[in-house]
A and B are shown apart, each in its own frame.
Chain A
């Protein structure tokens, strides 16, 4: 278990001090695939670097399995880092070494005999399905393959925690998917705790069970992925979950009446909701914006409807829509997004 207690980090720069992290409190349980999501500059990398003490927290502590990491000496820190390994956006392989040598490196650094390290490294390359690239150099591999080698390297010391800092951000969607599959697979097989840093909501949706939303060094929300994403409570979350609406809401000048539907795991993705409302109530709604995603077969997401009639029509529409299971309705979202939850 990893507990972050009142974790703060500020950097002294020539322009004064920058608060990269402010009073972070998070608990990451063993076996979690924990997502930390935020925009660029939110402090994600700083947070993950505090977890393996590459960055010393300015305040607060990182407690791993009951041990406060700030009490470790250099030697203990180094052995901790074999247990908490890391993969990166840029893969960071040694370009002048073969893939096999790259995977062997962490083992050789901890003085594992060469032959034993080689055997273990080959085993790891097999796990990431690249045994035939053992003698190749990273430059001869695609991005996805390089990240696989980096994963093999990170797992060679049999860690209990894997930190992924934007590990798929340099990859195309298909490769991203394959790498996430691999991470999930490893998580299941090795029972490893995974912390996934990303700015992409889709990554969190695909593999994480819990998520924390980071903005300006502060945790805005934290919880089960399905909960946080289907019912965002902070602007930061909304901006991540619904990047389209975030701009739509704040930019539009007209004040037509709107209803916002939030799909909280509704069973069918495309219910003829609008059509049935027109037939049952005679209300013609137009869709302003929509974004739904399927997580585990259930629909999550939002839809914003514009109701052209007067306040009566709006009230009737809200009443009608509220009868639909697994959908929350927020009326008049133009003014407030927190009202009228079913």
Chain B
């Protein structure tokens, strides 16, 4: 009997179930808490940044100095191309500065936000660029200021698209929490690695994966439903 088969004997399944009942509620809470907070902060930074990218573009409603835009784009591309595991290590000083420690559930929010906000900014950028340019022109013809166009026209018009993109962001961030769980963070990812993988309790690993899959499904379905419900272009 190899390790893998041993993971699914009745004793090990019973043991896994016990671990599940004992550790998963807290781990689930940690994962949801980290995911939701990280997404929230990523949006707090990414949304205005995405708006700025669209408005400040050469052909945007309020063109900004080209050098500034180029630097911003470079920074975003850089942050997006650093592998997440490496990013976690890179931002340790910042994490210490903000949270006071670089390990633990709350501490993992910092690298998650750093990794996610450029992604969110790009998503916001695509959502806003989908807004019908004729409507933007119409707003200009009404004498709207660039800020008014952003806040009163572009943002409301792209709500369904933003919601579905934020859904994409939250599910992606959920996946990242599993990685941060592997090095110091908490949550389902930590149990999967620490117990399931390191201690060869594969049944636990699979249970963790199932929980993550269900979580992604819940986020995704809720987000899709909300996006559809908010879209007034659909006749209902």
Residues of A within 8 A of B (CB): 52, 54, 77-82, 85-86, 88, 90, 92-97, 105-106, 108-110, 137-140, 157
Contact = CB atoms under 8 A, between A and B. Distances in A.
Given A54-B140, A81-B141, A85-B142, A96 B152 contact: no
6 contacts: A85-B141, A92-B137, A96-B159, A105-B152, A138-B232, A140-B235
Nearest to B159: A96
Contacts of B152: 105, 108-109
Nearest to A95: B233
Contacts of B145: 78, 109
A90 B137 CA distance: 12
Contacts of B140: 54, 81
Interface in B206-236: 230-235
A140 B235 CA distance: 6
Identify the interface centre among A79, A80, A139: most chain B CB within 10 Å of its CB: A139
Contact of B143 (A77, A92, A93, A96): A77
A88 B138 contact: yes
Nearest to B141: A86
Contacts of A137: 232-233
B73 interface: no
A81 to B, nearest CB: 4
Contacts of A92: 132, 134-135, 137-138
B148 interface: yes
Chain B binding surface, main DSSP class: helix
Nearest to A83: B143
Given A82-B142, A109-B144, A95 B232 contact: yes
Interface string B18-39: 0000000000000000000000
Interface in B66-96: none
A139 B143 contact: no
Contact of A96 (B137, B138, B233): B233
A86 B138 contact: yes
Given A94-B153, A96-B159, 16 more contacts: A52-B141, A54-B137, A54-B141, A78-B143, A81-B140, A81-B141, A92-B137, A94-B135, A95-B157, A95-B233, A97-B156, A105-B153, A106-B142, A109-B139, A137-B232, A139-B233
